[in-house]
Amino acid sequence: MSEAMIKSSALMALGTLISRVTGFIRNILIVALLGTSLLGDTYNVGNTMPNIIYNLILGGALTAVFLPQIVRAAKDPDGGSIFISKLATLVMSILVALTAVAMIAAPFFLTLYAPSFDGREAQVTLLFIWFCLPQILFYGLYALLGQIANAKGSFGPMMWSPILNNLVVIALFSYFLLTFDEITLGTITDQNVAIIGLGTTLGIAVQALALVPVVKGLKVGIKANFKFRGAGLGKSITLGSWTLLYALITQIGFAITVNLGTRTTKEAATLANDSSLLTSGLGFTPYQNAYLIFLLPHSIFAISIATAILPDLARKVQMSNLEGIRSDLVHSLRLLGVVLVPAMIFFALFGRNLGSAIFFGIPVEDARFIGKLLSAFALAGIPLALNMIFTRSLNAFENTRYQVVANTVINLIAISLSFLAYSILEIQWKTFGMAIAFSISYFIGVFVTYRGLRRFLQHLPHRLYLLLYLKLALISSALFAVAIVLQQLASKMDFVQINQGWGNTLYLVLVLALVTPLYLLIAKRLGVKEVGEVVSLFTRGKVAP
């Protein structure tokens, strides 16, 4: 990986870090206002719907398939302006039509994703869906402008603009928390729903429109151009058709997850008077919040690296430089391991503590349940990262067919095991079983994705990064085990109540403050040269000397 790509990764990682920190604050405020039971699910189903529909129809093509086409078009005498204008015109036309159709079909989406909802929760969910669906248009605009910027070598703005979105939503929910003592499903008004839904949509609009001056600054002339014939869009559409199938399979799997999650929420709310049920927050909202925490290291580091290497991989594919591609992939995978291996072990061992520390504004059992789900998701950390890198590599080879095969396997396994978990487990464990199903699906699916990549790459020297992962896992596990033993001793000596309030938060801060430098020092002493590179990436935005 070149120094330029490392710098791009660092800029994106910093932007994503700030974005995720503000995103954490945003999610804490949302949970504090709406809770993790029925009212929380009404908002999350409504706010998730535009993302689902957008990704189903167009998202995958914009975020991966079209980028190599834009890179190739950039070699044209006009810098690709004509191709980009026609692509933008086609995409925006589809998005406008898609948004209109989705608004009409909103009641169907409610029936599909939350069939167990009735009465007021169904009304509120439908209103949230209607007010959030215009986000489809702005998601598409954000992805299109972001991919144009990426193809031109400008990676940072796409990672930084979501911060504006988070700030808008933070202001929105802060207003409600300061204005109202409590909002419940019985007290929330249609006007409240409209303000929350439209305010959330405004955040996405600001995120997208912030990229307009960025693209203008890159001197990419984009004008409405409906002359699609002979524009060179045929290959993009063909590749996009496979991506559509990929997205369809993904969204079927997600629809089932949401369906089972909302059913669990409804069942838990019905059983809330049962003294044996400690919390009614057992369904989709805790599942989604745990998943977002789980994705934090991937979003900050893995996605930044994967996004930075894709344009360069596409260029090396066009030059048939397979050795250069292998070198970039191994280097990327080794860099990922330095961060992701200890992060996933931390999530697995300290999930309940972390849930309590982050979601301090809700009942303790609700927060701990989110942490329990986080521990289950952590098992998928490494295979998910590997699968993402292998998938991006297939994008560079402009092949989406093998991605569809792998994605089908992943989702079939996840769906089957999720149904099994929902059917046989007690309500306190249903969502936890679904998180385990997610993890198992990626352990198997990553092998299928790699088999597809081998058809183009022939082989990849796995020992160069898998042995590194094992070494890093042993180092971080030993250090975290020492921290747990010290915590147990402190509890027995009544030194501090670790599992309650600020004692828990202070404990996690101390664990990270002590383990992180020791981990980096030991790993470096044991010959992990990427440690210096990762530290340099985060501190100076360049490759270590």
Look at 134-143, 206-215, 219-228, 506-515 and tell me which has the smallest mean pLDDT: 219-228
Q: pLDDT higher for 272 or 442?
A: 442
Residues 448, 453, 459, CA angle at the centre, nearest 5°? 105
- Tens of pLDDT, residue by residue over 156-212, are 677 788 899 999 999 999 999 999 888 888 899 999 999 999 999 999 999 999 988
Task: Please provide the distance, in angstroms rounded to a whole number, between the alpha carbons at the two ends of the chain.
Answer: 14
Residues 350, 353, 356, CA angle at the centre, nearest 5°? 145
Mean pLDDT of all residues belonging to the chain = 83
pLDDT score recorded for residue 306: 66
Tokens 């909002």 — which residue? 183
- Tens of pLDDT, residue by residue over 405-418, are 898 999 999 999 99
Q: 544 pLDDT exceeds 50?
A: no
* CA 236 – CA 220 distance, rounded (Å): 19
Q: 514 pLDDT exceeds 80?
A: yes
Q: pLDDT higher for 353 or 319?
A: 353
DSSP string, 291-332: HHHHTHHIIIIIHHHHHHHHHHHHHHHHTT-HHHHHHHHHHH
Q: 276 pLDDT exceeds 70?
A: no
pLDDT band at 13 (very low <50, low <70, confident <90, very high): low
- Do 27 and 374 contact (CB within 8 A), yes or no? no
* CA 395 – CA 403 distance, rounded (Å): 9
Helix 322-358 to helix 303-318 angle (10° resolution) is 170
pLDDT score recorded for residue 64: 54
pLDDT band at 403 (very low <50, low <70, confident <90, very high): confident
pLDDT score recorded for residue 63: 53
pLDDT band at 542 (very low <50, low <70, confident <90, very high): very low
CB atoms within 10 A of CB 248: 16
Mean pLDDT within 128-138? 94
Signed CA dihedral, 146, 150, 153, 156: sign only: positive
Mean pLDDT within 71-95? 75
pLDDT score recorded for residue 543: 41
Residue 152 is classified by DSSP as: T
Give residue limits of the domains in the chain. Answer: 35-247
pLDDT score recorded for residue 232: 55
* CA 13 – CA 322 distance, rounded (Å): 27
Sequence letter at residue 499: N
pLDDT score recorded for residue 341: 95
pTM of the model: 0.81
